[in-house]
Structure 1
Amino acid sequence: MPETITGTVIHVVPPDDRDDHDLDPALAERAAGNYIVVCRRGGSPSFLRRVWSLLRGGSIDAITVVTAEEYAEGDRIAIEASPVGVAGVYDATER
């Protein structure tokens, strides 16, 4: 079931660079010819929220989206994607 993924791009793996990264085999197969975009779910937190998270020992909610569209680090995204069998990975290529 597709859902709307919103977030801020923190890392992008272009199709030609997939071999330079140690990817899960299932993710690498699904991403063939597509971009792998790692996002901070919900966007960038405010300065106070970052400090509060640091003090509490929290972490960011990172997700991975396989998409045919090119994004750059820092871009805000809002795309429809479906979860796949790998935890935290979504596919936005099947629409």
Structure 2
Amino acid sequence: MTVKPLQDRVLIKVMEAETKTASGIYIPDTAQEKTQTGTVIAVGDDEESITVKAGDKVMYDKYAGTTISIDSVDHLIVKSSDILAVVN
């Protein structure tokens, strides 16, 4: 399935939550926090308000967007204003 965001929306592939700490302790699903980072997959056609491009790793607002599943992978459609930062 192909999804093309419209206007000032951005499609983000959600990064998987860490299942293990740096010291090797496993984190159960119930204790994992919702991840707030992901990779931009596609952007809308509003070039004036969108400052990210496909391939950028971004941090977004915790309660932003709409979650969708594309080929059994979690994605998020957010407004460009809900993107907080580009991360390296």
Mark yes or no: TM-score above 0.5.
no
TM range (shorter): 0.3 to 0.5
Greater fraction helix:
1
